[in-house]
Amino acid sequence: MAAPPAPPAPMSHAAASAGVGAGALAREALGDQFTMLWVNNAVQGWVVGVAPGPLNLEQARAHIVEALTPHFAPGDLAYLGERLHVDPQPYGEAELRATQAQATADMMAANLGVFWRVGHGLCVYTDTIRVVLQLYDDSTPEIVERVRAIVAPQGDRVLVVVLPHGPPRPAIALPIAPGPTPAPAISVQRYVSTANAKRCIRGAVAKIAMRRGQTGVRSLSVKAGGRRRTISGARLRKPIEVRLTRARTPVEMTVKLRDGRTGTRSVTFTRCR
């Protein structure tokens, strides 16, 4: 399908999404002349198929832009307008949908005992949008001729295509091995000793220390005042001092054990007035 040259700037994801969302507006603007909307990377823009009717291509394009105007900011509208292409098509969307429904009903009534598929849209077999009826390699030449006779009343709105392979098979979902069970969280209070957060603290320092006898700890991390300090190994024997520079100081403590388990506890220390 021929299309006018496009600007070299690539089409952004946001603009492409907006173009697709404009389909309802284009459909309303063109009425029965609307065929389909699609994004075309080759022209870096979005394309609206236009069927024969009272509007020529130039008028159809103007109607679409007019329909977009109340719904987009000026910059977005200009972007979409520059990348809008209108493409002549022989049939409108409503006519193609009705043809597809009729072809489907006729094929079901014929009950030919073979696999088949009907749909309409961008066609790789022709340069226009048609209803395509696909047959597969289980259809004999006699079946193919019967199908052509069934859809013959629809004229060139229906294209019969015989594919040299079998019908699509449903995907078989393979079982997925369950992942490792996450280690349960630990109680930080079991490993860490702190000042009583329910009472105010006299002075400007709160101490956080490991309890004695806790040999399975890999590290202790304390976050306060936007800063984090982490200790491990021999340093775990000494407490971490948290300076209480404000009336209330939130503190987050994270303990990590050697077996991979972790635990976090948050408290707020209050200075006595």
**So what's the pLDDT on residue 4?**
37
Cβ count within 10 A of residue 59? 15
Tell me if 45 sits within 8 A of 85, measured CB to CB: yes
Q: Locate 38 and state its tokens.
A: 């699609």
Residue 170 belongs to some domain of the structure: no
C-alpha distance from residue 209 to each of 69, 113, 151, 235 (Å): 66, 78, 84, 10
| CATH number of the domain where residue 256 is located | 2.60.40.10
Q: Which of 88, 105, 123 is the last residue of a domain?
A: 88
Q: Which of 88, 111, 143 is the last residue of a domain?
A: 88
Residues 158 and 205 in one domain: no
Number of domains in the chain: 3
**So what's the pLDDT on residue 176?**
66
Residues 61 and 113 in one domain: no
How many angstroms separate the CA atoms of 66 and 86, rounded?
A: 14
Residues 53 and 73 in one domain: yes
What is the residue range of 252's domain?
A: 188-270
Residue 171 belongs to some domain of the structure: no
149-157: long-range contacts, CB 8 A cutoff, minimum separation 24: 150/103, 150/106, 150/107, 150/110, 151/103, 151/106, 154/99, 154/102, 154/103, 156/90, 156/130, 157/91, 157/95, 157/96, 157/99, 157/130, 157/131
Residues 193 and 264 in one domain: yes
Residue 34 belongs to some domain of the structure: yes
Residue 214 belongs to some domain of the structure: yes
How many angstroms separate the CA atoms of 138 and 191, rounded?
A: 71
| CATH number of the domain where residue 105 is located | 3.30.70
- How far does the chain reach from its first CA to its final CA, in angstroms? 80
Residue 175 belongs to some domain of the structure: no
Residues 27 and 78 in one domain: yes
- Beta carbons within 8 Å of 7's beta carbon, 6+ residues apart: 44, 82, 83
Q: Locate 83 and state its tokens.
A: 């990348």
**Could you report the per-residue pLDDT of 119-174, keeping only the tens digit for each?**
887 667 778 899 999 999 989 999 999 999 999 999 999 999 999 888 877 666 66
How many angstroms separate the CA atoms of 261 and 32, rounded?
A: 65
Residues 18 and 77 in one domain: yes
**So what's the pLDDT on residue 157?**
92
How many angstroms separate the CA atoms of 90 and 51, rounded?
A: 5
**So what's the pLDDT on residue 179?**
66
Residues 54 and 77 in one domain: yes
Residues 263 and 195 in one domain: yes
Residues 125 and 55 in one domain: no
Please state the pTM of the whole predicted model: 0.53
Residues 69 and 108 in one domain: no
Q: What is the pLDDT along the chain (273 residues), one digit of tens a residue?
A: 333 333 333 333 333 334 446 788 899 999 999 999 988 888 889 999 999 999 999 999 999 999 999 888 888 889 999 999 999 999 999 999 999 999 999 999 999 998 998 988 766 777 889 999 999 998 999 999 999 999 999 999 999 999 988 887 766 666 766 766 666 778 888 899 998 888 898 888 999 999 988 888 999 999 998 889 999 988 998 999 999 888 999 999 999 998 888 999 999 999 988
- Beta carbons within 8 Å of 105's beta carbon, 6+ residues apart: none
Q: What angle do CA 137, 117, 141 make, to 5 degrees?
A: 35
Residues 27 and 65 in one domain: yes
Residue 105 belongs to some domain of the structure: yes
Residue 181 belongs to some domain of the structure: no
Residue 174 belongs to some domain of the structure: no
Residue 147 phi/psi, 5-degree rounding, is: -65, -40
Residues 75 and 98 in one domain: no
